[in-house]
Structure 1
Amino acid sequence: MKRSLAIAVFAALLLAGCAAPGRQATSNATGTGSAPEAAQQLRVAAAAERGGQLGMALSLYATLSEANPGDPEVAQRHGAALLQAGQPQRAREVLAEARRRNPANGALMQAEARALLELGQAAEALAMFDAHLQAAPGDARSLNGRGIALDLLGRHAEARMAYRAARQADPNSPLFTGNLALSLMLSGCADAAMAVLEASPRSAATSEWLGQMQGLARTLSPIGGADAETTALRRALPAAAEPCTAMS
């Protein structure tokens, strides 16, 4: 397995982590920021989305977007559903148009940056997260997004600083802990990743996801499995550039 493939595996995990337990999901919003009729339609679309009827939800969101051009909440919900449906380019277009009409809206900036990450445009996403952090320096979600972009760019030490800052801003979120652990694994420090995960508080909602991250770290550690696929993945990851104890 080539290093590029190993990075692709971890990139998928990092991006999937954005939907892990503890994330502030746009699809669970009540729609109170929009007009009453639009808010009711948003609730119907969100119910369809939660019920697994993504096609119906997308149709409702598209209708709402046409009727309410530039509405930030409609755009965020529509964009999130498009990302869930595997349509990041369309999501980016919807969010960029809404942000053009609402250039100071930080939530739209975060959502568009998330779409850029899905499109593989990590440098552009990083610039957008950084721009939002200038206005909201302690925003945990933007700090986390900044970390993901930096990891995808191979700047793992800077990424870990971003995840730690996100954890400091929101100590109860398992998402930032999981992404910090993944960043440590990308740096060749699976044992340090295990230590971070073991020290993380668990709840019924987060235990399974953090356990999966811990299982991956254990597999990649020197005492992990020895099957051909695991060995290839372990070899594809870099050796630690500094003592792992200094990273955790």
Structure 2
Amino acid sequence: MTALQSTSAKRRQWQIAACIALACATLPSCATQKADRLTTGSIPSASLSKPVDLMTAVELAGAEKSMGLAYDRNPKDRTAGLNYANILRMNGKNTQALAVMQQVAIANPTDRDVLAAYGKAQAAAGQLEQALATIGRAQTPDRPDWRLYSAEGAVLDQLGRSDEARQKYRLALDTQPKEPSVMSNLGMSYVLSGDLKTAETYLRSASEQSTADSRVRQNLALVVGLQGRFAEAEQIARRELTESQSEANVTYLRSMLSQQNAWAKLSDKDRKPSQATN
């Protein structure tokens, strides 16, 4: 393998790991579902019994069915469309989510939230350049939305335009200082370029914010694990979760690290101290 091929392959490995971590609300759902590549946004519905990021696969399927029925009753309804497209993306049905958002965007062509969700759906379906254009239409210079800056940064990162992506994240932080989801995205941007120490600095700061959610801590767990501190990563991955969710997180974390032939090395590192004392 040439030096250029080696660099390209290494970058692709970081992209695979980072995009998965960037995408997921929690690792348990990632273990069974395809990822939504953007962290911004949530299901705007008071009818759910629990937060979406704490739902099991069965509960997500039930939510998809009920939201689908609401959408079928009125496909032009803004809230029904946003809810349904979001839950579809949570369940990995990105092509269907995009089709739903196309209809919602036609019915609500100037709605910023709709355009933002449409852009997210395009990105999740792999239409990255189209997503940038859609998110750009949603943004207005006189009333900039930090969520749109962050979403735009996430798309730019996927396009390999990391410098531009980080500019967007910093614009988001200018508007919304210390916002954990933006700092998390910024941290994962550095993962894409292999700068794990800088990534950990941003992710640790993000995780310390009172409004940080589970996905921020799981991104931190991944970055710590990628640096070979798996015991610490496992401890982070288990925080504030039920026993079953914790085990799913740890299992998924191990599978991600093993994709880069790292798990055996990390396990060996964890064993060496105890072996030395025998």
Please report the TM-score for the alignment, with normalisation by the length of structure 1: 0.72
Matches of 2:106 and 2:174, distance apart in 1: 32
Please list the CA deviations of residues 102-153 of structure 1 after superposition, one character each: whole Å capped at 9, or x if unmatched: 7411111111111111111111111111111122222000000111112223
Aligned pairs for 1:38-49 (under 5 A) are 38-46=78-86
Matched, 1:9 2:24: no
Aligned pairs for 1:148-163 (under 5 A) are 148-163=188-203
In the alignment of these two chains, the number of paired residues is 217
The one of 92, 98, 101 equivalent to 1:58 is 98
CA 1:25/1:199 → structure 2, altered by over 3 Å: closer, same or farther? closer
CA 1:88/1:127 → structure 2, altered by over 3 Å: closer, same or farther? same
| Alignment RMSD | 3.2
Larger deviation: 164-173 or 132-141? Answer: 164-173
In structure 1, the gaps of 5 or more residues are 225-248
Matches of 1:99 and 1:222, distance apart in 2: 46
Matched, 1:18 2:22: yes
CA 1:16/1:103 → structure 2, altered by over 3 Å: closer, same or farther? farther
In structure 2, the gaps of 5 or more residues are 27-37, 47-75, 270-278
CA 1:70/1:155 → structure 2, altered by over 3 Å: closer, same or farther? farther
1:21/1:206 contact within 8 Å kept: no
In structure 2, give the amino acid aligned to 1:69: P
Which residue in the other structure is 1:177 paired with?
A: 217
Matches of 1:145 and 1:49, distance apart in 2: 19
Identity of aligned residues (%): 20
Which residue in the other structure is 2:234 paired with?
A: 197
- Report the alpha carbon displacement of residue 101 of structure 1 after superposing the two structures with TM: 6.7
Aligned pairs for 1:99-110 (under 5 A) are 99-100=139-140, 103-110=143-150
In structure 1, give the amino acid aligned to 2:22: C
2:183/2:206 contact within 8 Å kept: yes
Matches of 1:54 and 1:128, distance apart in 2: 25
2:21/2:222 contact within 8 Å kept: no
The one of 84, 90, 93 equivalent to 2:124 is 84
CA 1:134/1:92 → structure 2, altered by over 3 Å: closer, same or farther? same
Which residue in the other structure is 1:117 paired with?
A: 157
CA 1:158/1:45 → structure 2, altered by over 3 Å: closer, same or farther? closer
Matches of 2:210 and 2:253, distance apart in 1: 19
Matches of 2:236 and 2:78, distance apart in 1: 44
In structure 1, give the amino acid aligned to 2:200: R
